């Protein structure tokens, strides 16, 4: 499904959007968008004039002219509706896919007497306990109270690899609609019907509960006022012209009005907002409100956990440490053999490290070998070779138990080696072959590649990064420097995170953070943007205003970029729309008055062929610019991290100066085409 | 023409030299810093506070401040109205002038309380000396001081941490006692020295060389003249305003008038920078306003120097119609640009007689209403456009727009929109209505494009609280007196209410620290953006009306 989401446009969505462009003509819906509502009223008036040209006073313009104006206006409204429908369509398609997951599951409700009874999932209430077995869909959100299972969450996250969930701890929450692929669990339901995570997700992607964001409201107000001003400008123009003995055609006046009011941004505004939310969803992040996405653009400080966010989380092999009597090459060889079929990041890093040390392996030797997968119970993985040799690696105590169970001797310094690594903040992984322990692999925190550059970008954008870690100050400082964060908090307790957030907020800053554990919940709630991991607890997810379905904390960086991009797109298209007015004035004003005041021909600097073609050209330009800009509205303007000054200069040149010049060229071009067609 | 340019450059240089010291002084006045002057003014001020029952240190929230502004202005209006309607029986009426008719009195009162000084009456034969002093000169001080106070209150809201905009009565009193009174006293003395009359005696009857008896009106002219320009009021003692030899007898008085008009509006922009502790921000706005001013000044001067083709055909270069020979083209053009930029409204030449493009300049300056602008409100209008520019550009850098660390959100935009909408509506709608009424059409002197300009100018002047008259239009009719009166009230108070509400809303917002990700508003780029936004939002609105008025007239020359 993740892949499906990324597709920009399907034929089905486009077809639906075309249909919706017409249904959206309903004035009750249009009035929410004051700019386009005015255009719609203008369309109706010109329709009237197309049928009865003299309905509102004697008209000198022909019926054909009125019909042309009517058609162009109609298309202007339709184009705007199409943009909105298209943006909504993608969300609706996603919602439909999600809804399929939801439909009709049967839950096995645990009765007081311990027996099970089948009930439809829609009847489950908070506090009910259900049993879910292999192959079954979890009927509702809840917490595992008994058992351990691997769960396929692809319906929600799009990620096909199952995740392991178990009772107790930070990985006990399950989401309705996901599927148990092994073992069974008892789940305590935590939501009532209609309020589940899936329900909320459907509502969000569908845009049913979409509310205008604060910036969108402010912008809509500004656009409405500009519209109102131009309405007055046009209305008062009539008596002024009248006084000079000039009668103006109503369709021409409507044309001028529509050209001057900011229809471009007015027509695309809601599409920009919907598409912005949609882009967040495409990143597999679920934003609880558009407000949160907007706030992401305003973030001044990011508080990031070291483990999992900045580093891979104790997972990369750094060193092979042999037990006494074993040489380094042997342990490296054993570690390599234990990991050749291990596709986890740890496994690959071990293979990588062994290769670096010049240890190689013969693929043929492992043909037909049986792969022993890591499980939560055994906490070991490895290979059973065809010749019966067992190779294992795993947690130190698991390996010890394993070796002891084979009746073999455990080297006395194994424990010591493991502790040493743990003290340095690393994770030890013992390696055994044929029942002999060879040594320990030192898995160390490694800063994720590319993060340093990302943090530098953030700094350029004026965003401060703070790293939070339980490590001692020395280790913390090393990692902080390696990653290039601005500040770090060592030996941090969950309260320290809240303190740090409050401290930043007191300075007027907006703070973003990520978290997954229950004790992160208060901090997630305190932060202006809190991104919870889907793998985390229900408490964390409820406190956050965004949830990352892939459980990748670095997503926060992308979310901030999307938030900024959303605002920039609105600003850029507003600027473009307003700047357009200059050219439109020069097209329409001389055309309107040329008959009565021939000297105004001087203002016809584009040398448009005739008054009527000038007005129609401006109007056509005004209409077609909307669909032409739909890709920008949907994808957002190009955004690269840079300082505000540079961003402003760039966007002003593109959308301000461009917005002033483009219509001159566009209107002239359309005018030439019109004159050719005549 | 080059001599004219030198003259203009010289005048503007003096204006600029005064900006910093005057700005610094204004900060002292409004920041209530302790100065040596406290010993002089302190006792007087404390006496006033005691009489009106004001506690000096008691701050007002935006609503309280606004209430004080409106209430005090309303009480003053009632007083002024009473004086005009009863002047016949009141003292200081040596020429025995009759009471003013009600509608004209309404127009006059609104005109002077709003700092407009639109004069539908004729000063020299319509007002007693008491009326000149209480209904004209008195509000010249208070209306200018009110504008100053509101601007300072807005700035306090902009940088404040809580809803405390200061005390209106203290601001009002201090700006009168420490700014307007001393300055106008000095200016008046200079004017008297240059020959401007200052007397309470009645008119003089003189016998001319031809043996005809002529009545020469006089009165307390110098005292009115000085505050008229310092307070950017503009209402002349005589009907012909600063073209009258008793108001503006010499080149030096002309210079002093121009300096007086520009002194405080320009200094206030600099003071703004000081008050918000960001001088560059003050200069950035100053630069935008200054740029627009120079463009307008150049336009009117070039237009007047070029004259008209018809005049050129007769061998006359430059348009001297309606101008005083003692001022010439350059001083007249400069006066025109200054009086409408600073929305003073006094004239030393007849704007009706300017070339069409020359006449469009004062109109456009008033339509923008923020090229330095009137006392206090000019800066407010400028800041209104700053807020709009910040909003549009702020989005383009990917953050919720903020100005001086305060977020500009829906509420501020809503309020700013009211102010932005008001100005064009109260100009265009009454103009259109006047043109629809045959009765009001008869007031128009010239027909065609110029006639349209006459009506448009009148309402623009009223809306911008400028008060200058284009001339030509017979404005003393019930329709114009009433409609322009209402326009003046709306033009003044709606934007004051909206801006104070914005100040109240901003004052309680937390301040966002500046980073490299913040839109910088104190750069030359921002000045340029401000100019463009002012021109596109402010001027393009009026483009159709101007195209039918001055532009069409110019193209038809």
The last residue of a domain, from among A192, A227, A243? A192
Q: Which residue of A has its CA nearest to B425?
A: A232
A231 touches chain B (CB under 8 A): no
- Residues A215, A70: one domain? yes
CB-CB under 8 Å, B512 with A215: no
Long-range contacts of B416-420 (CB under 8 A, 24+ apart): B416/B384, B416/B387, B416/B388, B416/B498, B416/B502, B417/A221, B417/A222, B417/A224, B417/A225, B418/B494, B418/B498, B419/B381, B419/B384, B419/B494, B419/B495, B419/B498, B419/B499, B420/A225, B420/A229, B420/B384, B420/B388, B420/B537
B156 touches B164 (CB < 8 A):
yes
User: A204 with A353, same domain?
Assistant: no
* H or E element, residue A641: none
Cross-chain Cβ contact A244/B548 below 8 Å: yes
A25 and A61 share a domain? yes
At B516-555, the pLDDT tens digits run 888 899 999 999 999 999 998 888 889 999 999 999 999 8
Reported as a pLDDT band with limits 50, 70 and 90, residue B1 is low
Cα A70 to chain center, whole Å?
A: 39
Instruction: Single out the residue in A505, A534, A559 at which a domain terminates.
Output: A559
Give pLDDT tens digits for A242-254: 999 888 889 999 9
**Other Cβ atoms within 10 Å of B209 Cβ, number:** 5
SS3 B211: coil
pLDDT (mean) for A583-590: 89
* Residue B112, token pair as written in the block: 């002077």
pLDDT at A93 over 90: no
Which phi and psi angles does B461 have, rounded to 5°?
Answer: -60, -40
- A53 pLDDT more than 50: yes
Residues A204, A162 share a domain = no
DSSP letter for each residue of B234-295: ---SSTTGGGSTTTS-SHHHHHHHHHHHHHHHHHHHHHHHHHTT-HHHHHHHHHHHHHHHHH
Beta strand residue intervals within A315-456, DSSP E: 316-322, 370-372, 380-384, 390-394, 427-433, 436-444
Q: So what's the pLDDT on residue A6?
A: 45
Residue A175's nearest CA partner among A207, A209, A152, A146 is A152
List Cα–Cα distances, A501 to A301, A310, A528, in angstroms. Answer: 9, 18, 9
Asked if residues A48 and A235 have their Cβ atoms less than 8 Å apart, the reply is no
Annotated binding site of A for ATP: 342, 346, 374-381, 393
The tens digit of pLDDT for each residue in A206-239 reads 765 567 888 889 999 999 999 999 999 999 999 9
Q: Which of B521, B169, B232 is nearest to B371 (CA)?
A: B232
Dihedral, CA of residue A263, residue A269, residue A271 and residue A272, to nearest 10: 130
Q: How far is CA B391 from CA A276, A653, B383, B385, B414, in A?
A: 20, 17, 12, 10, 12
Same-domain pairing of A18 and A72? yes
Question: In terms of residue numbers, what domain contains B328?
Answer: 2-555
Which residues in chain B are contacts of A230 at CB distance < 8 A? 541
Q: Are A433 and A389 in contact (CB under 8 A)?
A: yes
Cα dihedral A605→A611→A615→A616 (10° resolution):
-120
A334 in the same domain as A265: no
For residue B286, the model assigns a pLDDT of 96
Task: Give the pLDDT band (50/70/90) at residue A4.
Answer: very low
A199 — pLDDT class (breaks 50, 70, 90): confident
The catalytic position among A141, A305, A445, A581 is A305
ipTM: 0.93
- 459-488 of A, contacting B, C-beta below 8 A: 460-464
Report the residue of A212, A237, A239 to disrupt the B interface, i.e. the one with the largest count of B CBs within 10 Å: A239
- Count of residues making up chain A: 678
Query: How close is the nearest chain A Cα to the Cα of B515, in Å?
Result: 5
Over residues A156-161, mean pLDDT: 69
- CB contacts < 8 A, A to B, total 196
Mean pLDDT of chain A: 85
User: Which range of residues forms the domain containing residue A200?
Assistant: 1-103+195-283
Among A221, A232, A581, the residue with its CB nearest the CB of B425 is: A232
**Strand ranges in A172-236 using DSSP code E only, listed in sequence order:** 173-174, 179-182, 185-189
The tokens describing B395, both together, are 């989005």
Cβ contacts of A510 on chain B, cutoff 8 Å: 512
Q: How many domains does chain B have?
A: 1
Alpha-carbon distance of B495 to B411, in angstroms, equals: 15
- Partner residue opposite B397 with nearest CB, options A241, A563, A648: A648
Q: Give yes or no for a contact between B226 and B191, defined as CB atoms under 8 angstroms apart.
A: yes
Q: Which residue of A has its CA nearest to B556?
A: A599
Which H/E stretch holds residue A266?
A: helix A263-282
Find the farthest-apart pair of alpha carbons in chain A and give their distance in angstroms, rounded.
112
Q: How far from the centroid of its chain's Cα atoms is residue B314's Cα?
A: 38
DSSP type of residue B97 = P
Tens-digit pLDDT profile for residues B452-509: 999 999 999 999 999 888 878 888 899 999 999 999 999 999 999 999 999 999 999 8
Enumerate the H helices of B437-535 as residue ranges: 438-441, 448-463, 478-507, 524-533
Residue A6 included in any domain: yes
Test A239 with B552 for CB contact under 8 angstroms. no
HSE (CB half, 13 Å, CA atoms) of B412?
Answer: 30
pLDDT confidence band for A2 (50 / 70 / 90): very low
What is the separation, in whole angstroms, between the first and last Cα of chain A?
Answer: 51
CA nearest neighbour of A381 among A331, A340, A418: A340
Of the candidates A499, A501, A498, A502, the one whose C-alpha atom is nearest the C-alpha of residue A521 is A498
Query: What is the tally of structural domains in chain A?
Result: 4
The bridge status of strand A436-444 relative to strand A179-182 is unpaired
**Contact yes or no for B409 and A215 at CB 8 A:** yes
Asked if B312 and B65 touch (Cβ cutoff 8 Å), the reply is no
The mean-pLDDT minimum among A445-454, B161-170, B218-227, B410-419 falls in A445-454
CATH label of the domain that carries residue A176: 2.70.150.10
Residues A203 and A67 in one domain: yes
The per-residue pLDDT of chain B, averaged, comes to 90
pLDDT band at A103 (very low <50, low <70, confident <90, very high): low
Query: Is there a contact between A508 and B420 if contact means CB atoms under 8 Å apart?
Result: no
Q: The CATH number of the domain where A506 resides is what?
A: 3.40.50.1000
Residue A360's CATH number: 3.40.1110.10
**Where does residue A192 rank: exposed (0-12), middle (13-18), buried (19+ CB within 10 A)?**
middle
pLDDT digits (tens, 9 = 90+) for A449-489: 888 888 888 888 888 999 988 777 777 887 888 888 999 99
Same domain as A535, residue A390: no
User: Residue B234's closest CA among B397, B81, B112, B73?
Assistant: B112
Question: Is A33 part of a structural domain of the chain?
Answer: yes
In this structure, the answer to whether residues A425 and A338 fall within a common structural domain is yes
Rounded-to-integer distance, Cα A383 and Cα A117, Å = 43
CA dist B388 and B417 (Å) reads 9
Same domain, A322 and A388: yes
- Residue A271, in any domain of the structure: yes
Residues in chain B, total: 557
DSSP A91-129: HHHHHHHHHHHHS--EEEEEPTTS-EEEEEGGG--TT-E
pLDDT over 70 for what percent of chain A? 95
**CB < 8 Å & 24+ apart, contacts of A107-115:** A107/A139, A107/A140, A108/A132, A110/A186
Q: Does A658 touch chain B (CB under 8 A)?
A: no
DSSP 8-state code for residue B323: B
> 3-class DSSP state for residue A159?
coil
Q: Which residues of A touch B452 (CB under 8 A)?
A: 240, 243-244
Among partner residues B414, B451, B540, which is closest to A581 by beta-carbon distance? B540
In a shared domain, residues A170 and A295: no
pTM across the whole model: 0.85
The C-alpha of A508 sits at a distance from chain B's nearest C-alpha, in angstroms, of 5
Chain A residues with CB-CB distance to B543 below 8 A: 585, 589
Interface test with chain B among A242, A273, A461, A571, by most B beta carbons within 10 Å: A571
Q: What DSSP letter does each residue of A458-489 carry, written as one string?
A: HHHTT-EEEEE-SS-HHHHHHHHHHHT-SEEE
Beta-carbon separation of B517 and A651 below 8 A? no
* Mean of pLDDT values over B334-357: 90
Token pair 């000149």: residue: B132
Among residues A533, A559, A585, the one where a domain terminates is: A559
Regarding whether A485 and A451 lie in a shared domain, the answer is yes
Which chain A residues touch B531 with a CB distance below 8 Å?
Answer: none
Whole-angstrom distance, CA of residue B436 vs CA of residue A75: 35
Mean pLDDT over residues A170-198, rounded? 81
Give the list of residues 6+ apart from residue A631 with CB closer than 8 angstroms, or none: none
The annotated binding site of A is made up of: 342, 346, 374-381, 393, 516, 520
Give the C-alpha separation, B198 to B191, whole Å. Answer: 9
A250-292: per-residue pLDDT in tens?
Answer: 999 999 999 999 999 999 998 998 888 888 888 888 888 888 8
CB B468 within 8 A of CB B341: no
Tokens of A410: 């455990």
**Whole-number pLDDT of residue B203:** 80
Interstrand relation of A116-120 and A106-110 (parallel, antiparallel or unpaired) = antiparallel
Which chain A residue has its CA at the smallest distance from B440's CA? A243
Q: A305 an active-site residue?
A: yes
Q: How high is the pLDDT of residue B421? A: 94
């Amino acid at each position: 499904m993740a892949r499906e989401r990324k597709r920009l446009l399907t034929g089905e969505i486009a077809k639906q959007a075309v249909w919706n462009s017409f249904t959206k003509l309903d004035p009750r819906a249009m009035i929410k968008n004051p700019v386009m509502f005015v255009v719609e009223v203008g369309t109706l008036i010109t329709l009237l004039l197309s049928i009865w040209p003299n309905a509102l006073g004697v008209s000198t313009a022909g019926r054909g002219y009125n019909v042309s104006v009517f058609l162009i206006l109609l298309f202007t409204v339709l184009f705007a509706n199409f943009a909105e429908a298209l943006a909504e369509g993608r969300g609706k398609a996603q919602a439909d896919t999600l809804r399929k997951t939801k439909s009709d599951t049967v839950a096995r409700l645990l009765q007081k007497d311990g027996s099970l009874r089948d009930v439809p999932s829609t009847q489950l209430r908070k506090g009910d306990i259900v049993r879910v077995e292999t192959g079954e869909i979890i009927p509702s959100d809840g917490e595992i109270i008994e058992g351990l299972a691997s769960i396929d969450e692809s319906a929600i996250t799009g990620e096909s690899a199952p995740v392991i969930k178990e009772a107790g701890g930070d990985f006990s929450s399950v989401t309705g609609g996901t599927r148990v692929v092994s073992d069974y669990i008892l789940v305590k339901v935590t939501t009532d019907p209609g309020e589940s995570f899936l329900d909320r997700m459907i509502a969000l992607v569908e845009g049913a509960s979409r509310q205008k964001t604060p910036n969108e409201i402010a912008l809509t107000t500004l656009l409405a006022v500009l519209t109102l001003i131009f309405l007055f400008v046009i209305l008062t123009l009539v008596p002024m012209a009248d006084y000079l003995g000039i009668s103006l055609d109503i369709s021409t006046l409507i044309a001028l009005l529509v050209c001057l009011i900011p229809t471009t941004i007015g027509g695309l505004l809601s599409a920009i907002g919907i598409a912005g939310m949609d882009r967040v969803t495409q990143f597999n992040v679920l934003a609880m409100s558009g407000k949160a996405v907007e706030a992401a653009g305003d973030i001044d400080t990011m508080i990031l956990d070291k483990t999992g966010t900045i580093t891979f989380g104790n997972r990369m092999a750094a060193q092979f440490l042999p037990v006494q009597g074993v040489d380094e090459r042997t342990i490296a060889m054993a570690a390599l053999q234990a990991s050749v079929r291990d596709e986890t990041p740890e496994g690959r890093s071990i293979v990588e490290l062994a290769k670096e040390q010049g240890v190689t392996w013969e693929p043929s030797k492992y043909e037909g070998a049986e792969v022993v997968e890591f499980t939560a119970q055994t906490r070991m993985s490895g290979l059973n070779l065809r010749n019966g040799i067992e190779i294992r690696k795993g947690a130190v105590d698991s390996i010890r138990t394993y070796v002891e169970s084979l009746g073999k001797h455990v080297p006395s310094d194994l424990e010591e080696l493991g502790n040493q690594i743990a003290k340095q903040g690393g994770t030890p992984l013992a390696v055994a072959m044929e029942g002999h322990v060879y040594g320990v692999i030192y898995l160390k925190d490694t800063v994720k590649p590319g993060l340093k550059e990302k943090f530098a970008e953030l700094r350029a954008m004026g965003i401060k990064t703070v790293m939070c870690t339980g490590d001692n100050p020395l280790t913390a400082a090393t990692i902080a420097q390696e990653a290039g964060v601005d500040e770090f908090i060592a030996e941090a307790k969950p309260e320290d995170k809240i303190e740090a957030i409050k401290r930043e907020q007191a300075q007027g800053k907006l703070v973003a953070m990520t978290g997954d554990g229950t004790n992160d919940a208060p901090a997630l709630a305190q932060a202006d943007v809190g991104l919870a991991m889907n793998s985390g607890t229900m408490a964390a997810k409820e406190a956050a205003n965004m949830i990352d379905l892939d459980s990748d904390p670095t997503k926060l960086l992308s979310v901030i970029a999307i938030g900024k991009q959303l605002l920039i797109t609105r600003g850029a298209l507003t600027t473009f729309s307003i700047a357009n007015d200059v050219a439109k004035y020069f097209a329409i004003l001389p055309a309107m008055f040329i008959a009565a005041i021939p000297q105004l021909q001087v203002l016809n600097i584009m040398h448009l062929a005739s008054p009527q073609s000038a007005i129609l050209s401006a109007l056509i330009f005004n209409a077609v610019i909307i669909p032409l800009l739909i890709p920008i509205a949907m994808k957002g303007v190009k955004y690269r991290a840079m300082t505000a000054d540079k961003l402003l200069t760039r966007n002003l040149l593109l959308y301000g100066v461009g917005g002033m010049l483009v219509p001159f060229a566009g209107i002239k071009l359309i005018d030439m085409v019109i004159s050719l067609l005549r | 023409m080059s001599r004219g340019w030198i003259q203009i450059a010289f005048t503007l240089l003096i204006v600029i030299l005064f900006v910093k010291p005057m700005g610094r002084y204004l900060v002292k006045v409004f920041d209530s810093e302790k100065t040596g002057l406290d010993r002089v003014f302190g006792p007087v001020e404390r006496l006033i506070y005691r009489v009106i029952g004001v506690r000096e240190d008691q701050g007002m929230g935006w609503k309280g401040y606004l209430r004080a502004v409106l209430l005090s202005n309303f009480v003053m209006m009632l007083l002024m109205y009473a004086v005009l309607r009863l002047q016949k029986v009141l003292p200081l009426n040596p020429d025995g002038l009759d009471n003013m008719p009600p509608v004209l009195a309404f127009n006059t009162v609104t005109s002077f309380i709003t700092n407009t000084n639109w004069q539908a009456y004729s000063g020299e034969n319509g007002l007693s000396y008491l009326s000149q002093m209480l209904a004209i000169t008195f509000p010249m001080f208070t209306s200018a001081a009110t504008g100053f106070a509101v601007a300072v209150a807005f700035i306090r809201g902009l940088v404040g941490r809580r809803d405390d905009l200061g005390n209106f009565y203290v601001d009002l009193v201090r700006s009168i006692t420490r700014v307007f009174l001393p300055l106008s006293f000095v200016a008046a003395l200079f004017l008297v020295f240059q020959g401007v009359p200052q007397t309470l005696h009645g008119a003089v009857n003189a016998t001319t060389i031809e043996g005809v008896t002529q009545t020469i009106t006089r009165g307390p002219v110098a005292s009115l003249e000085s505050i008229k320009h310092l307070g950017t009021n503009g209402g002349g003692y005589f009907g012909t305003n600063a073209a009258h030899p008793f108001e503006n007898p010499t080149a030096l008085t002309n210079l002093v008038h121009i300096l007086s008009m520009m002194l405080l509006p320009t200094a206030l922009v600099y003071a703004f920078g000081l008050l918000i502790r960001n001088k560059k921000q003050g200069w950035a706005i100053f630069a935008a306003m200054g740029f627009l001013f120079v463009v307008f000044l150049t336009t009117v001067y070039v237009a007047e120097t070029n004259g008209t083709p018809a005049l050129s055909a007769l061998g006359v270069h430059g348009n001297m119609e309606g101008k005083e020979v003692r001022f010439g083209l350059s001083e007249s053009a400069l006066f025109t640009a200054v009086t409408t930029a600073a929305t003073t409204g006094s004239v030393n030449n007849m704007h009706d007689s300017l070339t069409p493009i020359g006449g469009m300049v004062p109109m456009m300056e008033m339509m923008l209403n923020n090229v330095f602008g009137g006392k206090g409100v000019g800066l407010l209008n400028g800041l209104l456009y700053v807020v709009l520019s910040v909003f549009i550009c702020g989005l383009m850098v990917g953050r919720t727009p903020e100005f001086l660390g305060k977020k500009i959100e829906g509420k501020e935009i809503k309020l700013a929109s009211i102010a932005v909408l008001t100005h064009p509506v109260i100009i265009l709608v009454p103009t259109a209505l006047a043109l629809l009424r045959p009765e009001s059409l008869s007031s128009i002197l010239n027909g065609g494009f110029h006639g349209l300009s006459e009506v448009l100018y009148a309402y623009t002047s009223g809306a911008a609280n400028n008060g200058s008259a284009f001339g030509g239009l017979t404005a003393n009719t019930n329709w114009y007196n009433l409609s322009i009166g209402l326009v003046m009230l709306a033009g003044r108070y709606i934007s004051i209410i909206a801006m104070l509400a914005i100040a109240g809303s901003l004052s309680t917002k937390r301040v966002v620290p500046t980073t490299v990700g913040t839109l910088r508003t104190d750069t030359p780029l921002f000045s340029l953006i401000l100019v463009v936004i002012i021109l596109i939002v402010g001027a393009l609105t009026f483009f159709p009306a101007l195209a039918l008025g001055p532009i069409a007239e110019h193209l038809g020359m």
